[in-house]
Amino acid sequence: MIRTFIAIDLPETVKKDLETLQRSLMTSTKGIRWVDPKGVHLTLKFLGDVELDRISEIESVIADISKQHKPFKLIPNGCGVFPSWKAIRVVWVGLEGDLELLKTLYTTLEENLERIGFPREERQFTPHLTIGRTKSISRDEKLAQTLAKFITFRSSPFTVEEIVLFKSTLTPSGAIYQRLYAAKLSVENSQ
């Protein structure tokens, strides 16, 4: 069994911008475990522990889906928290751009994975980049004030060109991600 998820990887320029943002936030916040910027990604589907013999089946779904969707642009923009300012668990950066194309890709992925036995996500898809987590739910006024200064944060636009299947290995110092498979987005011509 290996722990896996499907995601959109980010270009180095965006990861560097997120690292700069995290450094700015670190100086005035406590109790947040910051995600290594090298590992920040846009999760499309967390699969959890998957048997090794199912990986090729998942890769096949990703390959099929990638042929149905064209590349699209996203822009990391703004900051926020989940689930609320009164109960902070996750610090995130939002996204703007071709969100309808992203949501269509997500829906297609959910439908196709459900056909091979992976249940649909119960929560609504809210595209975001997780940059930090708290160990326990907290109300942090200082974090809220600091984040308010970065509401206008904006990183470089980037083009989503592929879907990636990742392996996630949990360690005491955080998760380590390894790319297992990637498929380029490329709508096939039917002519």
Tell me the pLDDT of the chain (191 aa) as tens digits.
999 999 999 999 999 999 999 998 887 667 788 899 999 999 999 999 999 999 999 999 999 999 999 999 999 999 988 888 778 889 999 999 999 999 999 999 999 999 999 999 998 999 999 999 887 766 667 777 778 788 889 999 999 999 999 999 988 877 899 999 999 999 764 33
Is 114 contained in some domain? Answer: yes
User: Where residue 55 sits, what CATH number does that domain have?
Assistant: 3.90.1140.10
Q: How many domains does the structure of the chain reveal? A: 1
Instruction: Give catalytic status of residue 69 as yes or no.
Output: no
Identify the active-site residue in 8, 9, 41, 163.
41
Q: Report CA-CA distances (Å) from 109 to 51, 95, 106, 113, 173.
A: 19, 19, 5, 6, 31
- Is the distance from CB of 91 to CB of 131 less than 8 angstroms? yes
Active-site residue flag, 41: yes
Q: Is residue 190 part of a domain?
A: no
128, 140, 146, 168: which is the annotated catalytic residue? 128
